[in-house]
Amino acid sequence: MMKIVTILCLLFLSPSSMHVYADTPLDEKNDVEQEKNRSNNSASQNTPAQNNLPLEDFLTKLKIEQGIANFTQKKHFTFLNNPIVSKGILKVHQTRVIWQVNTPVFSKLVIFGGQVWQQMDQGNNLHSSNDFQKVASHASVETLIRAVFTGEINRAQWNITLDDEQCLQLSPTDLILSQAINKITVCVPKSPTQRFVTLTDAQRNLTEIELNITSNQLLDEDIREFNIH
């Protein structure tokens, strides 16, 4: 569970000094697979949500298969009076995500296949560096990333409800995620290019993310950023 908490910190705070082990122990992976099987059984009973037409429409509107968005993130810790604010760029291309924090400290992450790769510090030349190191690898990471950043929801791993204010409420059924995350709320106002994400972790810390989609297409130079090998 501590690895998932650390991964959450890496994704939503992006501290350059954060270190996460790249491999997940075999017994932990087995626990995840067993929990997935249990989740699949419980999900099959959740037919009202699956057959809810407004929910289906909302999930369709939520998906981002390709695009660029600016984000502002506010991290509220229970032990701090003021939030930690960061700003940056989100890029999505097929199954890959780039989460790039520009301020207050530059940090660039590339996420795909349940793996998190971080751009390595090379002095003041961070933006042109193409040297990445795998800092996290966990089956539950991909579930979280897809839900928060691309709107792709794996119904077997989340309890899903759509409230009267057209906000999607997600609570994890995945065993590992449920120990780290309490709830995720995703709201899409009238503008389809804007969305608000709120994540509450197990320690009741709150992360607020405002996304503003600036393009639904990527240039060739944007696509090349995803090729980190």
Cα(143)–Cα(139) distance, integer angstroms = 7
Domain locations in the chain as residue ranges: 2-224
pLDDT class for 123, splitting at 50, 70, 90? very low
pLDDT tens digits, one per residue of 161-214:
998 888 999 998 888 788 888 999 999 887 878 999 999 988 888 999 999 999
Distances (CA, A) of 142 to 110, 158, 189: 12, 13, 26
Task: Point out which residues pair with 91 in neighbouring strands.
Answer: 68, 98
**Residues in Cβ contact with 18 at an 8 Å cutoff, skipping those fewer than 6 apart:** 6, 9, 10, 135
Q: What share of the chain is helix, strand, coil (3-state, %, to 5)?
A: 30, 35, 30
The whole-number average pLDDT for the span 41-55 is 53
Asked if the model's pLDDT at residue 70 lies above 90, the reply is yes
Cα(171)–Cα(49) distance, integer angstroms = 14
Q: What is the full DSSP assignment across 107-135? A: EEEEEETTEEEEEPP-TT-GGG---EEEE
Instruction: Tell me the residue type at 184.
Output: I
The whole-number average pLDDT for the span 88-105 is 92
Rounded to two decimals, the pTM is 0.74
Residue 27, both tokens: 């017994």
Answer CATH for 2-224 from 2.50.20.10, 3.40.50.300, 1.10.287.1080, 1.10.10.10: 2.50.20.10
